[in-house]
Amino acid sequence: MRRKVTIVGAGNVGATTAHWLAQKGLADIVLVDIVEGVPQGKALDLMQALPVEKSDVSVIGANDYSDTSDSDIAVITAGFPRKPGMSRDDLVRMNAEIVGEATREIVRHSPACILIVVTNPLDAMCEVARRVSDFPRERVLGMAGVLDSARFSTFVAKELGVSVNNVHAFVLGGHGDQMVPLPRYSTVAGIPITELLDKATIDRLVDRTAKGGGEIVNLLKSGSAYYAPARSISEMVDSILNDKHQILPCAAYLQGEYGIRDLFVGVPCQLGAIGLEKIIEIKLTPEEQAALQKSAEAVEALVKSLPQEVSQKA
């Protein structure tokens, strides 16, 4: 019996995630969205591409959760983007309501699933999903670090003129301006980039990585990134469904690791069939630890702004 993945939100990120998962033949997919016809149309279009891919997975679209029962993984991408004039608190409140409702429905139909949260502000929305689902921390994860690391790898490879296959980038912390790229642990064919690039260049690449999403938004004028986020989601799904034990940077609920407690923060995570198998703690310099703590404080501020009602369980 094939595995099953539910994707909540049939926008660009959700639909492209379905595309990557179906192309790789990882699981049957249910694409859920409140807009009638959109998930059904995108699912049908994708299904008609699969004979060319020689993939036999099923992709269906739905406007409710009845077809999502017994999903192994549920990916939540639904939510509002931040628009001009919208405060951070407005975005948190609106998306907390969406993520909370999606989580309740997912838990009702798939109580044993693993949740992967993508909706922004990512770290706070992970906390919404954790509170509402009451799942153990192994089964609630956030996708951000895979994406941020991929962006950092892209910029390093372009700067050095090398294959991206040679680059392994390392990013910790919250998703956004408070992320903490770690040049000491970022390598090219095993060589730390600190030995290949000067500090000014590294600082420039780190800054571009932190602002990577905004750069794409400014270029598109309308909309935001979706190819790289969707591929990053599929990497996490692949590691979990195939019990690969890959170490990937993900938002995880920390319980004292890195000196941080009761917050979702991006750290190296080993992912397998149970979801989060292990958090990898690496030694940080005082400067790196301070940057990570500052990132955690930004996450904490977002969590404190969550509406009280999100603590109501499924």
Where in 127-260 does DSSP place strands (E)?
140-142, 167-168, 171-173, 179-181, 187-188, 191-192, 246-255
Decide if 109 is catalytic.
no
Catalytic residue selected from 19, 109, 168, 175: 175
311 pLDDT above the threshold of 70: no
User: What's the burial of 278, exposed, middle or buried (CB within 10 Å: 0-12/13-18/19+)?
Assistant: middle
Average pLDDT along the chain: 93
Look at the domain 4-144 and name its fold. Rossmann fold (3.40.50)
- pLDDT category, 284, cuts 50, 70, 90? very high
Predicted pLDDT at 303: 92
Range name among 15-24, 113-122, 149-158, 166-175 with the lowest pLDDT average = 166-175
Rounded mean pLDDT of 160-166?
A: 98
Predicted pLDDT at 71: 98
Rounded mean pLDDT of 103-120?
A: 97
- pLDDT category, 214, cuts 50, 70, 90? confident
Q: What percent of the chain has pLDDT over 90?
A: 82
- pLDDT category, 105, cuts 50, 70, 90? very high
Do the Cβ atoms of 293 and 170 come closer than 8 Å?
Answer: no
Query: Whole-prediction pTM value?
Result: 0.95
Predicted pLDDT at 238: 98
Predicted pLDDT at 94: 92
Rounded mean pLDDT of 138-142?
A: 98
In angstroms, rounded to a whole number, what is the distance separating the alpha carbons of residues 290 and 137? 25
Model confidence pLDDT, tens digit, residues 219-243: 998 888 999 999 999 999 999 999 9
What is the distance of C-alpha 298 from the center of its chain?
18
In angstroms, rounded to a whole number, what is the distance separating the alpha carbons of residues 44 and 96? 30
Higher pLDDT, 165 or 307: 165
Predicted pLDDT at 179: 83
Do the Cβ atoms of 120 and 99 come closer than 8 Å?
Answer: no
314 pLDDT above the threshold of 70: no
In angstroms, rounded to a whole number, what is the distance separating the alpha carbons of residues 272 and 74? 15
> Which of these CATH numbers, 3.90.1150.10, 3.40.50.1100, 3.90.110.10, 3.30.1330.60, describes 145-304?
3.90.110.10
Predicted pLDDT at 202: 96
83 pLDDT above the threshold of 70: no
Show me where the domains of the chain are located.
4-144, 145-304
Rounded mean pLDDT of 197-217?
A: 92
DSSP-derived 3-state class of residue 172? strand
97 pLDDT above the threshold of 60: yes
Predicted pLDDT at 61: 98
Rounded mean pLDDT of 53-69?
A: 96
